[in-house]
Amino acid sequence: ESVLPSVNLLLGATLFIAISLSSHASAVSSNIVIYAVLADWLHLLAASLWVGGMMYITTTYLPVLKGKSSAEQAHSLITLLPYFSPLAIAGVIIMAVTGPFSATIHLTSWEQLFTTAYGRALSVKILLVGGLMVTSAIHVSLIRPRLKREYHKYTYAVAGVTFNQAQQVKLREGRVTKLTRRLMGILRWEPALGVAIIACVGLMNVFAGTLSPIAVPSQQPTTSHSTAYNTTLKTTDNKFTAKLNVNPNRFGTNIFTVTVIDNSTGKSTTNVGVSLYTTMLDMDMGTDTVNLRPDGKGHFSSPGDLGM
């Protein structure tokens, strides 16, 4: 039985190492990657001491106290919680050191706290940690000392030292019950903030890529200027003349424009249908069809692709 806790501790530390090596901390410059991973590992260790301890108290310790009297609950709380305080304080101190250190590594400016998804998740996490520190300080510095004092007064009254014993016992018991319920209520809700902090850490790993600007490929300068292609042809029955314009006349998408002139009147007409068929001469790539539509200006126009 004495070996099992040590094994669990070793497995937990190993798990934190694996998480740190696969997190955004390992994606920094090789010059500081060791420090970044170590800081991330210590941050996880601190969270396990602080948040993990609170979750254990809520899920395991408090349910055991349900069947006991208020006096027994108060005695147990003021006896056990002081043993958890050093672990929680150590976790807070480690997080206070490693948190800003990691932020300076990953953030290049304070504006990223608000302009990137990673920064916004970090901002929410900071607020949650601050809220958790405030609630912890309230029950450690205010509620727990008051409960301890009232419990000692209650036990003093129960011992029959004071005058009018029954009245004093009832009064002290009521105060002990009130403070005990208040303290247990805070202890039950504190882990909710811890879970929210863990969720923010997960989002920070997801959004770590938003810290690096997406590289936009530079546009290669063109070595030659393409000019529009123009040609004129007639139908086989000589009834119509078609003027073709291909712009910009290069590989890729082009705009095909055709003006159809009725040879009998010498004016353009749109009462016809116009289709273009393109075929690559260098290799057999089939024939592409571009159906042109009237543009409302006496022409037919439509985009189409030209092969190499």
Any idea where the domains of the chain sit in the sequence? 12-211, 229-306
Q: How far is residue 299's CA from residue 257's CA, in Å, rounded to a whole number? A: 7
With residue 237 as reference, give the H or E element that holds it.
Answer: none
Mean pLDDT along residues 225-233: 82
From the list 65, 299, 280, the residue with the least C-alpha distance to 187 is 65
What would the mean pLDDT of 185-193 be, rounded to a whole number? 87
Is the pLDDT assigned to residue 248 strictly greater than 80? yes
pLDDT in tens, 253-307: 888 899 988 888 888 887 887 888 877 776 766 677 788 887 767 788 888 887 7
In which band, very low, low, confident or very high, does the pLDDT at 215 lie, cut at 50, 70 and 90?
Answer: very low
pLDDT reading at 41 higher than 80 = yes
Which residue, among 83, 32, 94, has the nearest Cα to 61 in the 3D structure?
A: 83
Query: Is the predicted pLDDT of residue 113 greater than 50, yes or no?
Result: yes
* CA distances from residue 299 to 228, 263, 267 in whole angstroms, order as listed: 17, 16, 12
Q: What is the pLDDT of residue 75?
A: 92
Task: Average the pLDDT over 128-156 and give the result.
Answer: 88
Percent of all residues in the chain with a pLDDT value above 90, rounded to a whole number: 8
User: In this model, does residue 94 exceed pLDDT 70?
Assistant: yes
Q: Running DSSP on this structure, what letter comes out for residue 221?
A: P
pLDDT, average across residues 237-251: 87
Question: So what's the pLDDT on residue 217?
Answer: 46
What pLDDT, on the 0 to 100 scale, is given for residue 164?
55
Residue with tokens 């009018």: 164
How many degrees, rounded to 5, is the angle at CA 22 between CA 18 and CA 27?
135
Q: What is the pLDDT of residue 216?
A: 44
Count of C-beta atoms within a 10 Å radius of residue 20: 21
CA 159 to chain centre: 57
pLDDT at 218: 47
Q: What's the rounded Cα separation, in Å, for the pair 124 and 131?
A: 11
Q: What is the mean pLDDT of the chain?
A: 81
Query: Average pLDDT for residues 106-126, to the nearest whole number?
Result: 83
Q: Across residues 47-56, what is the average pLDDT?
A: 88
Which of 66-75, 115-124, 200-209 bottoms out in mean pLDDT, i.e. has the lowest? 200-209
- Residue of 99 and 168 predicted with greater confidence: 99
List pLDDT tens digits, range 16-31: 888 888 776 766 667 7
Supply the pLDDT for residue 210: 60
% the chain with pLDDT above 70: 86
pTM equals: 0.59
Residue 83 has pLDDT above 70, yes or no: yes
Cα(56)–Cα(285) distance, rounded to whole angstroms?
A: 69
* 3-state DSSP assignment of residue 154: helix
